[in-house]
Chains A and B, each alone.
Chain A
Amino acid sequence: MDAIILQILNGLDKGGAYALIALGLTLVFGTLGVVNFAHGALFMLGAFCAVTFNKLLTLEKVTVDPTQMTAWGSPMEVKTPVVEAWLGEFGKVLVNYSVPVSIIVAIPVMLILGIIMERGLIRHFYKRPHADQILVTFGLAIVIQEIIKHFYGANPIPQAAPAAFAGTAQVGMLLGLGDAIPYPWWRLIYLFFSLAIIGLVFAFLQFTTYGMVVRAGMRDRETVGLLGIDIERRFTVVFGIAAVVAGMAGVMYTPILPPDYHMGMDFLVLSFVVVVVGGMGSLGGAVAAGFLLGILQSFASMNEIKSIIPGIDQIIIYLVAVVILLTMPRGLMGRKGVMED
């Protein structure tokens, strides 16, 4: 029983992460009709916002101590943290909370990057064939990746969650089920964070006039343009939002997965599968698909199931994708005619 609850919890946790990573992609995919292979790179850039912020906070002043020697006979360098020296206790707290705080940094950075990307590149590709979009965004993703690699190296850079959330929560206790269900605090936070962001994006599209216009533009761009509405500018904003969402997903994911320059590519295929299984042009579908795939993956990895069907955990995501796409022509909630030809 405990095992099942743990696995459900784990599935929800994974599902939240998948949904959040796929959310920005489905926004761009569904609203702008752009196949954005650079989406993973945006996720990775978000993670590196956190890395950079942490690096700045832990910047060290290097002094040479001639009394100590390294193994190769040069004087030892002594490093003293700068920010902690300036700000004292507050500096320590800041360093401790660098991951959540760096969201504040990541939002404007990702917004600006997103807008530059859209204005400078993506907008010229709205009317181009998907093949061209794939090539140009793939090229962009490689370029971004290589730039990050040049400055940060290829090795993962660990980012710690705030000390208060580093341990596990006794979820079982909260539910009155004993102490057999511990779950990491940070993963729970990530789950609630993704739910909150998903909710915000929904509310924005559903309940604001701005969102209404965007939705109308998705359906029929020309008519909206005829009404005298500048749909182009709205699309820029949508792309910016997608970048911010991807970036925030990246920031918050760093304590779970030490970021490296390649992490975006690793998540790219997964996020495409989530979006398409959810159905093109449907935000709700992507979220549902994220949770569905997360939970199924979690259960398929249980030893009891693996012993019946060996290797099922290796392929479950793709197997589910095949089954769903064959039984439901447009994924879970896809709209007719979007990206079908």
Chain B
Amino acid sequence: MSKIIINRRGLLKAGAVGGLALSTPMHFIRGAYAADQSCNMPTGANVVFGFNVPQSGPYADEGADELRAYQLAVKHLNGEGDGGALKTFSSKALKGNGVLGKKVTFVTGDTQTKSDAARDAAKRMIEKEKAIMITGGSSSGVAVAVQSLCQDMGIIYMCALTHSNDTTGKDRKRYGFRHFFNAYMSGVALGPVLAEAYGKDRKAYHLTADYTWGWTQEESMKKSTEAQGWTTVNAVRTPLGAGDFSQYLTPVLNSGADVLILNHYGKDMVNSLTQAVQFGMRQKQVNGKNFEIVVPLFSELMAQGAGDAIKGIYGTANWDWKLDNAGTKAFVQSFGKEFGAPPSQAAQTAYAQAILYADACERAGTFFAPAVIKALEGFEFDGLGNGKTVYRAEDHQCFKDVLVVQGKEKPKDKYDLLEVKKIVPAKDVTYDSKPWGGDLGPYDAKTCG
């Protein structure tokens, strides 16, 4: 048995000659250039961003909107168009001449909302097209999977739409950053508003998508509503993509519950909400109170899919285009001019992430990943539409205001479906990251195999 020695990036087995021969050069390269070389650092006049969004599958429309936002961000970074939220962004490092003087170009990939496909697409962009960073995604499964890949390859991943606690909780990664809010924040923000609107003496029945995101959402909703004095009658898990949820809705009818909380997302949420309304749950009276339905997280596109059923439903959002602040106005103005429709919250988080990465490079003065990461960690900024925001260093989660929204009764058009009911300040949704477990891992630059 030979003894094995390990260096920082992998294994080196003294006994295996082949292994030694292959690993040694890397080892020396590392030693020589470790100070300023990380994977895919641009050498020419351009720098490549990788946009990994769902282009097929149920979230294709969401992905298309993200892609629009990314293209707009690239334009603004390169000094084309009206500059958008760069004008209102608190950091003035970006000058509209690309990033560090290099013109920003981009490549795209289709995640198909599947972990394997998303990782394949990300690898293509990294290995073939030499992308310096990856951003995008519209589900937590994909975000966590791509994030761990990027950690392994030494490429920074700026998550777009992912709401699970795990992304910056137990699965947090040094190379992954999330601007979007999470299930815990939704619960904390929503609880008091629900108690105010529906009273403190309520019995809630949860229907929960039976996978990680659903569970964390259910847990945080339970916690925050029970803190307001509500009781939880039952929490039932439903299979992903069930299509017809009627068999789970019938037991709700006579359960004694007077609130139904749907911890579903995407198509599942559209279907379960439509069907719950069909079962007369909006007209129902239980315990002398009006029966209510709550959907902790929904987006504009889901509201469109649910149609009339969304009216009056409470939920939370990361951002809304009708917010009254300078960053939002600048972004909506330039997005609307470009594409003739207001941006969705997925688009906004995508736009912000691309800008934030570029800005961090500019402030760090290099594309060297560990330096960029350090520039992002603990970064405080304003003017991108969410008010004062901080990228917390311990878990790479953004802390900013959370919106409580309600489906509008009389929308003017299909973009006017949500009404912002309350802006919950960032300090109310801030939590301690330690109990969530997880380990960011090392800064450790990689040199692309």
A and B touching (Cβ–Cβ under 8 A): yes
Measured CB to CB, the residues of A under 8 A from B are 2-3, 6-7, 9-11, 13-14, 17, 70-74, 79, 149, 153-161, 166-168, 180, 182-184, 186-187, 255-258, 260, 262-263, 266-267, 297-298, 301-303, 306, 311, 313-314
With A155-B305, A168-B279, A182-B280 known as contacts, the answer to whether A71 contacts B246 (CB < 8 A) is no
Contact between B247 and A256, CB atoms less than 8 A apart? no
Q: Is B253's beta carbon under 8 Å from chain A?
A: yes
State the 4 A-B residue pairs at the shortest beta-carbon distance, nearest first.
Answer: A72-B336, A158-B307, A154-B60, A156-B305
Indicate with 1 or 0, residue by residue over B399-418, a CB within 8 angstroms of chain A CB atoms: 00000000000000100000
Please give, as numbers and ranges, the residues of chain B lying within 8 Å of A260 by CB-CB distance.
58, 267, 305
Contact between A71 and B278, CB atoms less than 8 A apart? no
Q: Is B61's beta carbon under 8 Å from chain A?
A: yes
Nearest chain A residue, comparing its CB with the CB of B310: A158
Q: Is B275's beta carbon under 8 Å from chain A?
A: yes
With A71-B342, A298-B247, A314-B239 known as contacts, the answer to whether A258 contacts B306 (CB < 8 A) is yes
Q: Mind listing 13 A-B residue pairs with CB under 8 Å?
A: A13-B246, A14-B246, A14-B247, A70-B336, A72-B332, A72-B342, A73-B337, A155-B305, A158-B270, A160-B307, A168-B280, A255-B278, A297-B247
Q: Is B368's beta carbon under 8 Å from chain A?
A: no
Distance of A13 Cα from B249 Cα, bound (Å): 13
With A10-B246, A157-B305, A160-B307 known as contacts, the answer to whether A3 contacts B251 (CB < 8 A) is yes
Give residues of chain B (321-366) contacting chain A, Cβ–Cβ below 8 Å. Answer: 321-322, 329, 332-337, 340, 342
Q: Is B19's beta carbon under 8 Å from chain A?
A: no
Q: Is B97's beta carbon under 8 Å from chain A?
A: no
Q: How far is the CB of B211 from chain A (nearest CB, A)?
A: 11
Contact between B308 and A158, CB atoms less than 8 A apart? yes
Please give, as numbers and ranges, the residues of chain A lying within 8 Å of B254 by CB-CB distance.
2-3, 6, 180
Distance of A7 Cα from B305 Cα, bound (Å): 27
Contact between B247 and A72, CB atoms less than 8 A apart? no
Q: How far is the CB of A99 from chain B (nearest CB, A)?
A: 13
Contact between B247 and A158, CB atoms less than 8 A apart? no
Contact between A186 and B278, CB atoms less than 8 A apart? yes
Nearest chain B residue, comparing its CB with the CB of A68: B412
Q: Is B248's beta carbon under 8 Å from chain A?
A: yes
Q: Is B81's beta carbon under 8 Å from chain A?
A: no
Contact between A156 and B251, CB atoms less than 8 A apart? no
Nearest chain A residue, comparing its CB with the CB of B241: A266
Contact between A154 and B308, CB atoms less than 8 A apart? no
Please give, as numbers and ranges, the residues of chain A lying within 8 Å of B239 by CB-CB distance.
313-314
Distance of A10 Cα from B322 Cα, bound (Å): 41
Number of residues of chain B lying within 8 A (CB) of chain A = 50
Q: A155-B305, A156-B305 are in contact. List 14 more A-B contacts (CB 8 A).
A: A3-B250, A3-B254, A6-B251, A7-B247, A9-B250, A72-B333, A72-B342, A156-B267, A158-B305, A167-B283, A168-B279, A187-B246, A257-B244, A263-B243
Q: Is B59's beta carbon under 8 Å from chain A?
A: yes
Distance of A266 Cα from B239 Cα, bound (Å): 13
Please give, as numbers and ranges, the residues of chain B lying within 8 Å of A166 by CB-CB distance.
278
With A182-B280, A255-B278, A267-B243 known as contacts, the answer to whether A72 contacts B335 (CB < 8 A) is yes
With A71-B329, A71-B332, A303-B251 known as contacts, the answer to whether A158 contacts B274 (CB < 8 A) is yes
Contact between A74 and B336, CB atoms less than 8 A apart? yes
Q: How far is the CB of B274 from chain A (nearest CB, A)?
A: 6
Distance of A183 Cα from B249 Cα, bound (Å): 11
From A6, A156, A160, A256, give the contact of B244 (CB < 8 A): A256
From A149, A153, A180, A306, give the contact of B236 (CB < 8 A): A306
Contact between B250 and A303, CB atoms less than 8 A apart? no
Please give, as numbers and ranges, the residues of chain B lying within 8 Å of A159 by CB-CB distance.
307
Please give, as numbers and ranges, the residues of chain A lying within 8 Å of B267 by CB-CB distance.
156, 260
Q: Which of B250, B301, B321 has the most CB of A within 10 A?
A: B250
Distance of A276 Cα from B246 Cα, bound (Å): 25
Contact between B250 and A6, CB atoms less than 8 A apart? yes
Distance of A72 Cα from B335 Cα, bound (Å): 8
Distance of A262 Cα from B377 Cα, bound (Å): 41
Q: How far is the CB of A72 from chain B (nearest CB, A)?
A: 3
Please give, as numbers and ranges, the residues of chain B lying within 8 Å of A258 by CB-CB distance.
270-271, 274, 305-307
Distance of A7 Cα from B250 Cα, bound (Å): 7
Q: How far is the CB of A43 from chain B (nearest CB, A)?
A: 12
Nearest chain B residue, comparing its CB with the CB of A182: B280
Q: Is B57's beta carbon under 8 Å from chain A?
A: yes
Contact between B248 and A156, CB atoms less than 8 A apart? no
Please give, as numbers and ranges, the residues of chain A lying within 8 Å of B307 by CB-CB distance.
158-160, 258
Contact between B336 and A153, CB atoms less than 8 A apart? no
Indicate with 1 or 0, residue by residue over B272-292, a CB within 8 angstroms of chain A CB atoms: 001100111001000000000
Please give, as numbers and ranges, the residues of chain B lying within 8 Å of A311 by CB-CB distance.
210
Distance of A156 Cα from B268 Cα, bound (Å): 11
Q: Is B304's beta carbon under 8 Å from chain A?
A: yes
Q: Which of A70, A155, A297, A298 has the most CB of B within 10 A?
A: A155
With A14-B244, A17-B244, A153-B61 known as contacts, the answer to whether A184 contacts B278 (CB < 8 A) is yes
Q: How far is the CB of B7 from chain A (nearest CB, A)?
A: 45
Please give, as numbers and ranges, the residues of chain B lying within 8 Å of A184 by CB-CB distance.
278-280
Contact between A266 and B243, CB atoms less than 8 A apart? yes
Distance of A180 Cα from B238 Cα, bound (Å): 24
Q: How far is the CB of A187 from chain B (nearest CB, A)?
A: 7
With A156-B267, A158-B307, A313-B239 known as contacts, the answer to whether A182 contacts B329 (CB < 8 A) is no
Nearest chain B residue, comparing its CB with the CB of A72: B336
From A13, A74, A306, give the contact of B337 (CB < 8 A): A74
Q: How far is the CB of A169 from chain B (nearest CB, A)?
A: 9
Q: Is B309's beta carbon under 8 Å from chain A?
A: yes
Q: Is B234's beta carbon under 8 Å from chain A?
A: yes
Contact between A257 and B243, CB atoms less than 8 A apart? yes
Distance of A2 Cα from B307 Cα, bound (Å): 31
Nearest chain B residue, comparing its CB with the CB of A259: B305
From A10, A182, A257, A303, give the contact of B271 (CB < 8 A): A257
Distance of A301 Cα from B322 Cα, bound (Å): 41
Nearest chain B residue, comparing its CB with the CB of A7: B250
Give residues of chain B (286-303) contacting chain A, Cβ–Cβ below 8 Å. Answer: 301
